[in-house]
């Protein structure tokens, strides 16, 4: 069945460091891929998405590229800020619609 695997957290970085959170998936067909972010005390928010191979999603300085050959959708940011501290979830949704399938989440803590 479909599944998503993320790197385990917590990830602790200093401000302005480079961020990579790894995400790989298993799916039949050509799913859409998403990154959601959950700030402390808040609900899940869509950060970025990609709907087909080689698409790059980007938002707020974050980006991720849909790599079908490696079944990956790694999240990157060149210079993190303290305000980026949150839990990040990678997810997929098959192109027949329906539910999102989430990874277990990766907690990011950015220190000043």
Partner 1 sequence: EAGVVQSPRYKIIEKKQPVAFWCNPISGHNTLYWYRQNLGQGPELLIRYENEEAVDDSQLPKDRFSAERLKGVDSTLKIQPAELGDSAVYLCASSLDTFPGQGSYEQYFGPGTRLTVT
The yes or no reply on residue 40 touching partner 1 (CB under 8 A) is: no
C-beta closer to partner 1: residue 79 or 104: 104
User: 69 φ, ψ to 5°?
Assistant: -65, -30
Residues near 68 by beta carbon (within 8 Å), at least 6 away in sequence = 30, 53, 54
Shortest distance, position 57 Cβ to partner 1, whole Å: 11
C-beta closer to partner 1: residue 17 or 55: 55
Identified binder of partner 1 from the candidate list 25, 49, 66, 108, rule CB under 8 A: 49
Identified binder of partner 1 from the candidate list 56, 60, 68, 99, rule CB under 8 A: 99
The yes or no reply on residue 21 touching partner 1 (CB under 8 A) is: no
The yes or no reply on residue 94 touching partner 1 (CB under 8 A) is: yes
Identified binder of partner 1 from the candidate list 14, 45, 79, 81, rule CB under 8 A: 45
C-beta closer to partner 1: residue 1 or 112: 1
Residues near 75 by beta carbon (within 8 Å), at least 6 away in sequence = 19, 20, 21, 23, 35, 47, 62, 63, 64, 88, 90
Cα(109)–Cα(12) distance, integer angstroms = 5
Task: Count CA within 13 A, CB hemisphere, residue 72.
Answer: 12
């Amino acid at each position: 069945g479909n599944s998503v695997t993320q790197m385990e957290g917590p990830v602790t970085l200093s401000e302005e460091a480079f961020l990579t959170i790894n995400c790989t998936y298993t799916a039949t067909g050509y799913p859409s891929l998403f990154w959601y972010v959950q700030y402390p005390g808040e609900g899940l928010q869509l950060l970025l998405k990609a709907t087909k191979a080689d698409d790059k999603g980007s938002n707020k300085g974050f980006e991720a590229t849909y790599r079908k050959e490696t079944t990956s959708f790694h999240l990157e940011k060149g210079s993190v800020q303290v305000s980026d501290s949150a839990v990040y979830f990678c997810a997929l949704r098959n192109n027949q619609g329906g539910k999102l399938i989430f990874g277990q989440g990766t907690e990011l803590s950015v220190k000043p």
